Amino acid sequence: MRNQRLPILPLHRDDLPVDTIELARFMIGKYLVHDLPEGRISGRVVETEAYPVGDSTSHAFMGRRPHNGSMFLAPGHAYVRLTYGLSYMLNMSAEAEQTGAGILFRAIEPLEGLAFMEARRPGAPLRDLARGPGRLTMARGIGPSFDGHDLCTGRGLWIGVIEQGEASVGVTTRIGLSREMHRPLRFFEPGSAFVSGPRKLLLTPHSRA
């Protein structure tokens, strides 16, 4: 157990890039925090994917539906959805309100609250605790009740930052899709062991998508 908290500061909605792809890149190296009565869970975001407007693989592609309304909220709201009948995915809305777009959190490097996460994923080694979108939500106990939650409040489940400035970011195509496979919309922290899937660079760090 850690006595001293990491100096994570909440991200305000105005701090977030409005553009979906820029937001997905921006979130690499930021922090996902969950304050609970039992203590704090936190981790460093090391892998994301962008699901921009007009992308046929986006859950918002066919317009607003009862299940995808959170993707149409102002930037920084959680969109939680079940895939393959087993795994919940944690996403965050992007673009202006009324516009359906978002980014998917694919992996985090667990930092605080390790005991909490290990209890939810018995037997998993530290490296695999939150490596993959389904594992991430499992380890952190994130389910459908978080759909629509505002991640910019600095309370409950929220996003934050420690380091200022831009992190080095790798880019590849997204994972698990059968369409739009060519688009370089997956972002990750180069060299991190907590990234799921390929860690070979498509584009050089700091290049724009």
- The residues of the shown chain that bind DNA, judged by CB under 7 A, are 49, 51, 56-62, 65-67, 71, 79, 81-87, 89, 91, 102, 104, 121, 124, 128, 132-136, 138, 174-179, 196
- Minimum distance from CB of 164 to DNA (Å)? 28
* CA dist., res. 111 & res. 186, Å (int): 23
- Minimum distance from CB of 162 to DNA (Å)? 25
Tokens of 187: 């972002």
Contact indicator for 152, 94 with CB cutoff of 8 Å: no
- For residues 176 and 191, which CB has a smaller minimum distance to DNA in the complex? 176
- Minimum distance from CB of 40 to DNA (Å)? 23
- For residues 34 and 81, which CB has a smaller minimum distance to DNA in the complex? 81
Give the count of alpha carbons within 13 A of 159, CB side only: 27
- Minimum distance from CB of 102 to DNA (Å)? 6
- For residues 90 and 169, which CB has a smaller minimum distance to DNA in the complex? 90
- For residues 29 and 134, which CB has a smaller minimum distance to DNA in the complex? 134
* CA dist., res. 170 & res. 49, Å (int): 12
User: Residues in the chain, how many?
Assistant: 209
Contacts of 205 (CB under 8 A, 6+ apart): 168, 169, 170, 190
